[in-house]
Every structure is written in C-alpha cells, then in structure tokens.
Chain A
Amino acid sequence: ETGVTQTPRHLVMGMTNKKSLKCEQHLGHNAMYWYKQSAKKPLELMFVYNFKEQTENNSVPSRFSPECPNSSHLFLHLHTLQPEDSALYLCASSPGGLKNTEAFFGQGTRLTVV
C-alpha cells in the first residue's frame, strides 16, 4: 500500500472538457509535487508546494492549474488540454523544509486527451 494515492488511475478527456487529478498523502510530509512523464522524455517537474505555498511553477501552461488546500492534498485542474498533454502525471511528496530527502510517489494518472 502506497503512502501517496492518486485518483483516477486512468482518464480520457476531450479537449473541451474540464477535469481534475487528485493526490493524497498520508506520510505527514510538507512538500508535494506534480511531475509529467511523457514517452521518451525526461521526467518534467511541473509544480512544487511547500507548506501549502506554491514554490515552483516550471513554466507550465495555464491550462494546468494546481491547488493545494492543505499539506495532505494536491489537485491538478485541467481545462482545454491539447493532445500533446497526454502523459503519465505523477504526484510525489517529501518531508520538505531545509533537509528535504527522498520523495515518495503515487502510482500516477494516465491521461489521454482526444
């Protein structure tokens, strides 16, 4: 059983749809991340939240909108996506603070934009 849970596992959406990805961690961590993993490309960091505050937005298009209501939950709101946004979206958490160590990952959401 993972300490980081992502829902849904799979999502197919049209380019005009609005959907949200959810991530929940039960590890007491203070930092949460969204990564995008496309085929044949390196893992791309999208957003970082530390103690509920967004500390990094890695030049992500505005059609991706993160939300972190508390240290345990992280959302990624999606709207008017493009087919090239199809990818595996991974959520991760880590202790945060000045001595950040390893990140723990969820199982990912496989997103297909049609």
Chain B
Amino acid sequence: AQTVTQSQPEMSVQEAETVTLSCTYDTSESDYYLFWYKQPPSRQMILVIRQEAYKQQNATENRFSVNFQKAAKSFSLKISDSQLGDAAMYFCAYSFGNEKLTFGTGTRLTIIP
C-alpha cells in the first residue's frame, strides 16, 4: 500500500525568508502524481502544486517550488519570500492511476512577522 510521510508536524519561518517542508512516500509504481495542498484556517484544502512522476523537471508555481527526487521517493516543498498568508497546514499527497489520494499527516507552518 502507498504511504505518505511528513516528518515535521510544525515549522516556522520568518516573514520574507525561505522554508522547506519535507515529504517522503512509498510506492512500487513508476507513473504517478504528487501534490502539495494548503489548508488555511478557513478549512478549505487548496492545491498548491502538482508534480507528474514521469517529468524530471521540478514543478514551480510562483513562490512555490518542489524538489522531486524520484529514486529517493522524496518530494519537498520550498516556499520563497514567505508571507503571512502562507500560514496554514500543508499536506503532501500521492495518487496513481484511478486511485484515490493518499495524504500525509500534515505540517503546520507558522509565519513570524
């Protein structure tokens, strides 16, 4: 069974600085998707970034980028120039084929003004 592990329950970063959130996963598949979701206090889960496993290039969305290491099964999220609005729970997730998403336990990110 696929598992997703987020080993950092909480992280904090100074405003305008850079922070990296870690995620590892376990799978025997070769073509799958990885995601980072953000859940602010408003509760809605919002997709931050998506990576397709067959693409070697790391996905980037504005201040958000990933470091995808397929052999190591690692998928970290880097947030540059952190802003107060980035404060939220961040969930790493995996999906393969027509299967449902598997989520990690989340990392709570605090932004220090």
Name the A residues within 8 Å of B44 (CB-CB): 2, 105-108
Contact across chains for B95 and A98 when beta carbons are under 8 A apart = no
A101 located at the interface, meaning its Cβ lies under 8 Å from any Cβ of chain B in the complex: yes
**Number of B residues contacting the other chain (C-beta, 8 Å)?**
21
Residue from A56, A101, A106 whose CB has the most chain B CB atoms within 10 Å? A101
B101 located at the interface, meaning its Cβ lies under 8 Å from any Cβ of chain A in the complex: yes
B92 to chain A, nearest CB (A): 11
Contact across chains for B98 and A102 when beta carbons are under 8 A apart = no
Residue from A43, A45, A105 whose CB has the most chain B CB atoms within 10 Å? A43
B25 located at the interface, meaning its Cβ lies under 8 Å from any Cβ of chain A in the complex: no
Contact across chains for B98 and A96 when beta carbons are under 8 A apart = yes
A90 located at the interface, meaning its Cβ lies under 8 Å from any Cβ of chain B in the complex: yes
Size bracket of the A interface: 20 to 34
Name the B residues within 8 Å of A97 (CB-CB): 98
Name the A residues within 8 Å of B35 (CB-CB): 102
Name the B residues within 8 Å of A48 (CB-CB): 100
B91 located at the interface, meaning its Cβ lies under 8 Å from any Cβ of chain A in the complex: yes
Cβ < 8 Å to B, chain A residues 78-107? 88, 90, 92, 94, 96-107
